[in-house]
Amino acid sequence: MIQRIQTLYLILAAGISAGLIFVFHLWTNSEGAKVFAVDNYTYLGMFLGSALLSIISIFRFKNRKSQFVLGRLNIILNFILLGVFVYQSLNLSGETNVSEKGIGILLPIFSIVCLALANKAIKKDEDLVKSVDRLR
């Protein structure tokens, strides 16, 4: 389980979704206060849901098809989260009191990259098993 590369990608995606949301802020509001994902339950739920899907996918290593489907669902969830962040950042006011976007808005992109690499490795494993089954 751990020796497979997709497990490492999924652990990295779970770490990004569950751990880095407490470190990096999403944006700075007009009062100068940093807004983290923990401050909004919707963002927190989406990030933790993404991390939970990654962890569940790690333990589904015996069923590669469901692991692949969970990875795709996780990618969709991260795209929805990214869309919500883009919508929110377009609604932030751009007046003289500058509202700065934080690096936390890019966390779903890093998670998507890790999940896509994990799905690619899962697909490669599935193809290898199918090719071996053909030889029997």
Q: Which domain holds residue 121?
A: 5-135
Q: What is the pLDDT of residues 41-79, one digit of tens each?
A: 999 999 999 999 999 999 998 898 999 999 999 999 999
In sequence order, what are the residues at sequence separation of 6 or more whose Cβ sits closer than 8 angstroms to the Cβ of residue 77? Answer: 46, 49, 50, 53
Burial degree of 60 (CB within 10 A; 0-12, 13-18, 19+) = middle
Beta strands in 43-96 (DSSP E): none
pTM (predicted TM-score)? 0.88
Q: What is the pLDDT of residues 13-39, one digit of tens each?
A: 999 999 998 888 888 777 778 888 888
Number of domains in the chain: 1
Lowest-pLDDT range of 70-84, 90-104, 113-127: 90-104
Q: Tell me the pLDDT band of 87, cut-offs 50, 70 and 90.
A: confident
